[in-house]
Structure 1
């Protein structure tokens, strides 16, 4: 049986409140669970007590092979109960392929326009030099 430590939503419409629970991975999000380990109230200020977790029970379930979800792993990392690896995606900030193509076309058009302006500025100067001779 694959165990997950995850969030089960409670609260009313537009007023979320979550329970941190241990459940079988196949059970529904808000359905049957094995044990409740704590709670998370996202409506409270971030510097307050938003997350409450029973550390002993979390350690117990982690030792029995329960896998925390990403969000719960963040909470456990803040509490010092589990280690969360920092994610690094250096390509995330790069523009997409089509945006890069558009930028290249725009740059080429600007260079062509600058060359045309330079040629237009040089042409009257050459014409004046030719008439002066």
Structure 2
């Protein structure tokens, strides 16, 4: 099972809100996930990213691969790879 850290879309039309989750790569984007790691609100200019750095680092150490977007969000939070 390949684990990826990616975004799942929540919110309504034209008001996106995302969860940062650890999920099986075979599951659909908004489908089943293993753990919620944080949230991302692109409409907020300040504090739009809230990610639990310890959980994210733990999943990365276990071999999870973050998507491109999540990798940039993790850099903003200060989680290195």
Which structure dedicates a bigger proportion of its chain to strand? 2
Show structure 2 runs of 5+ residues with no match.
none
Asked if residue 15 in structure 1 is aligned to residue 15 in structure 2, the reply is yes
Q: Equivalent residue for 1:42?
A: 42
**Cα RMSD for the two superposed structures:** 0.8
SS class of match (2:59): helix
Residue among 57, 60, 63 paired with 1:59: 57
Looking at secondary structure, tell me which structure has more helix per residue: 1
Higher RCO, 1 vs 2 (CA within 8 Å, ≥6 residues apart): 2
Secondary structure of the corresponding residue to residue 23 of structure 1: strand
Please say which structure displays the higher CA radius of gyration: 1
Structure 1: runs of 5 or more not aligned = 84-133
Q: Distance in 1 between matches of 2:60 and 2:70?
A: 12
Runs of 4+ in 1 over 2 A off after TM superposition: none
TM superposition score normalised by structure 1 = 0.59
Give the alignment's TM-score, normalised by structure 2.
0.96
Q: Distance in 1 between matches of 2:54 and 2:31?
A: 24
* Matched positions, count: 81
**What is the CA distance between 1:34 and its match in structure 2?**
0.2
